[in-house]
Amino acid sequence: MYTFESRVRYSECASDARLSLLRLVNYLQDCSCFQSESLGIGIEDMKRNHYAWFLSAWQIEIEDLPRFNTPIAVSTWCYGVKRLLASRNFTIEGQDGTPYVRADSLWFLYDTKLGRPVKFPKSQMAYLEDTPRLDMPPTKRKIDVKGDFACAPAITVTRQHLDTNGHVNNAQYIQMALDALEQTGQALVPWRITVQYESMALLHDTVEPQVFESEGGRTVRLARPDGEPYAIVRIEVRS
């Protein structure tokens, strides 16, 4: 298990002085990036060997959101590899042990020269450890959407949406979905966020948010102009 400690900064807070959902997801992905650097297989190694880790799916459960200036500990571990997918857990806790967030995720290794997923080389198996999986439902790679939907304003991808791979960062899709809910008058306080990533949105691409009613919450399909999804985000409320 890899852990780093931090403190909730003012710049990371929403208007209620609690950690914003965008910054929450950033903490999770930062933790996995820090672990990669600690193992010597971080950003520079990725560039040198033309590969990148991409997310296939998220499942994030939010018990509470820490307030401004709260000391926190963010942890991650890879607990399994099957075919082309690696499974990784995350937690955010107070340094006193208070549980805030737990998450499960599915990742694949992408060869940036070949333009496709590839099998994990031996160097990447350094992530794998025997820490047990969190007690969470299985993370699904597919989220069903059907029925009528409300349209939120289209989004043009700008540089602020991009990460070092040159495409929209995974956390930005979640923020787009949350913004779409607010713009269509359907804002929710999330308990669980699940995401299915389908294709990569690039600079100047157009993203069209479509909001569907779903059991226990809402589902937002972030679609290309041809209707195919970049990502599908499901927001569930506590029952």
pTM (two decimals): 0.92
- Judge contact between 210 and 150, C-beta under 8 A: yes
114 within a domain of the structure (yes/no): yes
pLDDT, one tens digit for every residue, the chain (239 residues)? 999 999 999 999 999 999 999 999 999 999 999 999 999 988 898 889 888 899 999 999 999 999 999 999 999 999 988 888 999 999 999 988 999 999 999 999 999 888 888 888 888 888 888 899 999 999 988 999 988 999 999 999 999 999 888 899 999 999 999 999 999 988 888 999 999 999 999 999 999 999 999 888 999 999 999 999 999 999 999 87
Q: Is 166 left (phi over 0), alpha (psi -120 to 50) or beta?
A: left
Which token pair is 84?
């082309």
Any alpha helices (H) in the chain, and if so which ranges?
21-38, 43-48, 170-183
- Residues 26, 110: one domain? yes
Q: Considering only CA atoms, which of 63, 13, 5 is closest in space to residue 193?
A: 63
- Residues 93, 169: one domain? no
- Residues 40, 84: one domain? yes
Q: pLDDT tens-digit profile of 193-236? A: 999 999 999 999 999 999 999 888 999 999 999 999 999 999 99
Whole-angstrom distance, CA of residue 109 vs CA of residue 114: 12
pLDDT at 77: 96
137 within a domain of the structure (yes/no): no
What Rg value do the Cα atoms of the chain yield, rounded?
17
Please name every residue paired with 72 in a beta bridge, in sequence order, or none if there are none. 6, 94
Q: Report the number of distinct structural domains present in the chain.
A: 2
- Residues 106, 165: one domain? no
Query: Residue 221 sits in which domain range?
Result: 149-236
- Residues 32, 67: one domain? yes
- Residues 34, 104: one domain? yes
- Residues 114, 154: one domain? no
- Residues 27, 108: one domain? yes
23 within a domain of the structure (yes/no): yes
- Residues 170, 54: one domain? no
135 within a domain of the structure (yes/no): no
Contacts of residue 80, defined as CB under 8 A and 6 or more positions apart, other chains included, come to: 86, 87, 128, 133
- Residues 107, 33: one domain? yes
- Residues 16, 120: one domain? yes
CATH classification of the domain holding 177: 3.10.129.10
Whole-angstrom distance, CA of residue 237 vs CA of residue 239: 6
- Residues 166, 120: one domain? no
Q: Is 69 left (phi over 0), alpha (psi -120 to 50) or beta?
A: left
Dihedrals phi, psi of 100, to nearest 5 degrees: -115, -50
134 within a domain of the structure (yes/no): no
pLDDT at 173: 96
DSSP 127-195: GB--PPPPS-PPPPS-----S-EEEPPPEE--GGGB-TTSBB-HHHHHHHHHHHHHHTT-----SEEEE
As a whole number of angstroms, the longest Cα–Cα distance in the chain is 49
